[in-house]
A and B are shown apart, each in its own frame.
Chain A
């Protein structure tokens, strides 16, 4: 039984720099696993500089959940282990082999396996880390009983890659992955698509899942929105979620018996000369992509989208869960009477800028805060871009005053920072709302453990 859900509240921003639909092989030499991509993981290293690894060899594990281990996406030599302030592990860099060698985990048909066997295979190969859970957006707990599993069949964020294009011709692996995932829960597996976007046969032909249709602006593609509309999280509930290329990786683990971390990713943004798709592996260095491909040098490279992505260097690496690199200009300049002039080329959610008259126009956005930080003043604005049945302003205030009961009552288990990204974007007071939400989630998680 599929459902159709219309999302009314939200905001789409038209940006310059959408990726052209051609795929190039990316000849990246270096790959990295970044422990900072994983919320709440405390890494314990299993390798040292100079070690040789295969794709699927363990690299580190989580000190608090030792059965969760993280494996190399490609084969090669560990060339550098980068640490930051207080010796926090930042990046484990692998110099890749010409031809990738894989650890063998044995082929199997997931339909013939028991739940425990599937979990064991996923954990051993490190593929388990691709499955995340709500609340908290951490890696799923293998011992937990999720009430449902969500597969996000589209991305509604600005310049997001076309998922149909990503999964094209991987129908068989995708279905194998779904079969494995279906065994992990007693509840439903939801595959959520948007029929306003070019539909993919890979998705619509899938079996063993409930296909739901979400129509509307961003954040319709966010897992938080989809869970809230289909099967909201109550205190104590757990929902797992993953994206289509993760499903294919799981499929390949059973189909071919190896950890194939290949990804098709989109290179997007107004400062890229040739925006396109690349075929590469998780953790690829972006250097080869943006070399000689930038319109100017003063740019910000983001792994992910402009709302929730991670800032990376020009020599940085693709983050674990991202399908997209965005490059936009830095905004470190003064804007003469910027708050007073009509603003023909300035994107705003509000109608105080003339640009409002041309809603279909494409914008080039930069990273300036566009104002100073203030206390909350305006009200009723967040509600216009926040489709969840939650009072966003009240929840934020509960977090700021660290009132755990109020946070629970107001629905903190149902959200994470990405759900508030649009609120942060439109905030007149320039408040760092995503940080506030993460602080609240960390507080709750500590309280519950």
Chain B
């Protein structure tokens, strides 16, 4: 600890203003604050400050994502070996997925952090930790076989267009991780949808066992093959094809518990997304003109990316509604729209991504009307006083 401090103290003068390596200032900062909480003391206002900081808050989210990540790695391997008809034990299965997904994570972080550090240096800010979470979310919402160059392009697009043009973390309008996914979805649809991309190795088409279908439950449901849907138990445990982190509802719930217990994510949003999805599902049940509409409403919650979106994507504090009342409305509409798009729109099997992105855009409007209510109350009070 002393040794690390000494090394950092030796480098510091060179990256300070006027130093030879000043252009590395932000990089140094990022490394230094990773090891040490700085020695800066309060100069204005409250003399004491909470022990929490942005790093602490966001690392909790990363921890919460770990169960989904680990399950995703194992499931990637499991599906692969099932597709080629091999039977293996736990560890080879896990390692297959691990080495499939680790490169995606590395590429995401390297590209994203490089861009973040570049902008931080340009603006003279410290590097913001927002990408801690985004960098972990992006690999979890992609299929395991996605080409790495696509990951790089999507990440760059998401960070620059989705975040930095607005001023960086805290200023962005839409969830950067979902922007990355939406970018790939629309730019390279053949790699982002269909029946063969979800199982690792399947798109190459070698050694696939006859009759093995890599279709996701959502893909099946959309074309009316509801009889092919896996059992609800399988969907809850997550042994089904899908994006890396989205399949296991159990793993996602562990993450949800961590985030709700620590108070990092809003229970209001999670609760209302689920409520919205259920109510839309029940509405379909009532009118049910086809099999998909008749699907029990609760099963929508365990299908596709609904659970993952509700827990990790909709709750992003920057892009969600900021008022407590607004959060209920925002979440409810996400759940509603996600199921609506999923069932009614023939072009997109999954509605969660688009529902969240759409509501991200409307979140400030929702807040506007909530705050307006408070303003009206104040004006009314003033008028009553003036009358007297």
User: Residue B39 at the A interface, CB < 8 A?
Assistant: yes
- Check if A426 sits within 8 Å of B378, measured CB to CB: no
| Chain B neighbourhood of A336, CB < 8 A | 1, 4-5, 35-36
A417–B262 alpha-carbon span in the complex (Å): 28
A306–B377 alpha-carbon span in the complex (Å): 34
A369–B147 alpha-carbon span in the complex (Å): 43
User: Residue B248 at the A interface, CB < 8 A?
Assistant: no
Known: A350-B263, A391-B371, A410-B374. A374 touches B54 (CB 8 A): yes
Which of A348, A394, A435 is in CB contact (< 8 Å) with B45? A435
User: Residue B115 at the A interface, CB < 8 A?
Assistant: no
Smallest CB–CB gap between A393 and chain B, Å? 6
- Check if A369 sits within 8 Å of B42, measured CB to CB: yes
Which of A333, A366, A409, A433 is in CB contact (< 8 Å) with B48? A366
Smallest CB–CB gap between B90 and chain A, Å? 30
User: Residue B204 at the A interface, CB < 8 A?
Assistant: no
| Chain A neighbourhood of B48, CB < 8 A | 306-307, 328, 365-367, 425
- Check if B130 sits within 8 Å of A377, measured CB to CB: yes
User: Residue B387 at the A interface, CB < 8 A?
Assistant: no
Give the contacts of A389-419 with B (CB-CB under 8 A): 389-391, 393-394, 409-411, 417
Smallest CB–CB gap between B237 and chain A, Å? 29
Closest to A398 in B: B371
Give the contacts of A370-389 with B (CB-CB under 8 A): 370-380, 383, 389
A239–B28 alpha-carbon span in the complex (Å): 51
- Check if B317 sits within 8 Å of A352, measured CB to CB: no
Which of A330, A368, A377, A394 is in CB contact (< 8 Å) with B170? A377
Instruction: Choose, from A160-168, A258-266, A283-291, A337-345, the stretch at the interface.
Output: A337-345
| Chain B neighbourhood of A340, CB < 8 A | 55-56, 59
Closest to A309 in B: B47
User: Residue B196 at the A interface, CB < 8 A?
Assistant: no
| Chain A neighbourhood of B263, CB < 8 A | 350-352
User: Residue A346 at the B interface, CB < 8 A?
Assistant: yes
- Check if A367 sits within 8 Å of B54, measured CB to CB: no
User: Residue B323 at the A interface, CB < 8 A?
Assistant: yes
Smallest CB–CB gap between B377 and chain A, Å? 8
- Check if A349 sits within 8 Å of B50, measured CB to CB: yes
Smallest CB–CB gap between A15 and chain B, Å? 9
A337–B318 alpha-carbon span in the complex (Å): 26
- Check if B320 sits within 8 Å of A379, measured CB to CB: yes
Smallest CB–CB gap between B45 and chain A, Å? 4
A429–B41 alpha-carbon span in the complex (Å): 15
- Check if B44 sits within 8 Å of A352, measured CB to CB: no
Closest to B167 in A: A375
Smallest CB–CB gap between B272 and chain A, Å? 13
A103–B126 alpha-carbon span in the complex (Å): 58
Known: A333-B39, A334-B38, A432-B45. A377 touches B50 (CB 8 A): no
User: Residue A114 at the B interface, CB < 8 A?
Assistant: no
| Chain B neighbourhood of A389, CB < 8 A | 374, 377
- Check if A390 sits within 8 Å of B374, measured CB to CB: yes
- Check if B47 sits within 8 Å of A300, measured CB to CB: yes
- Check if B51 sits within 8 Å of A367, measured CB to CB: no
- Check if A377 sits within 8 Å of B318, measured CB to CB: yes
Smallest CB–CB gap between A387 and chain B, Å? 14
- Check if A428 sits within 8 Å of B54, measured CB to CB: yes
User: Residue B261 at the A interface, CB < 8 A?
Assistant: yes
0/1 per residue, A345-359, Cβ < 8 Å to B? 011111111010000
Smallest CB–CB gap between B175 and chain A, Å? 13
A146–B367 alpha-carbon span in the complex (Å): 35
User: Residue B128 at the A interface, CB < 8 A?
Assistant: yes
Known: A350-B263, A377-B169, A391-B323. A367 touches B39 (CB 8 A): no
Closest to A337 in B: B35
Known: A350-B262, A352-B264, A428-B57. A368 touches B49 (CB 8 A): yes
Closest to A234 in B: B382
A430–B52 alpha-carbon span in the complex (Å): 9
- Check if B375 sits within 8 Å of A368, measured CB to CB: no
Beyond contacts A339-B37, A375-B171: 8 other A-B pairs, Cβ-Cβ < 8 A, are A306-B47, A334-B36, A337-B35, A350-B262, A352-B56, A367-B42, A379-B266, A393-B322
Show 25 residue pairs from A and B whose CB-CB distance is below 8 angstroms, ordered by the A residue. A308-B46, A309-B47, A330-B41, A333-B39, A334-B36, A338-B51, A348-B50, A349-B50, A350-B263, A352-B57, A353-B52, A369-B38, A371-B53, A371-B54, A374-B126, A375-B168, A376-B170, A380-B266, A389-B377, A409-B375, A410-B371, A424-B49, A428-B50, A433-B45, A435-B45
Point out residues on A near B: beta carbons under 8 Å: 232, 234-235, 237, 300, 302, 306-309, 311, 326, 328, 330-340, 343, 346-353, 355, 365-380, 383, 389-391, 393-394, 409-411, 417, 421, 424-430, 432-435
Query: 8 closest pairs, A vs B, by CB?
Result: A371-B53, A375-B170, A434-B45, A338-B37, A346-B51, A335-B37, A339-B55, A334-B36
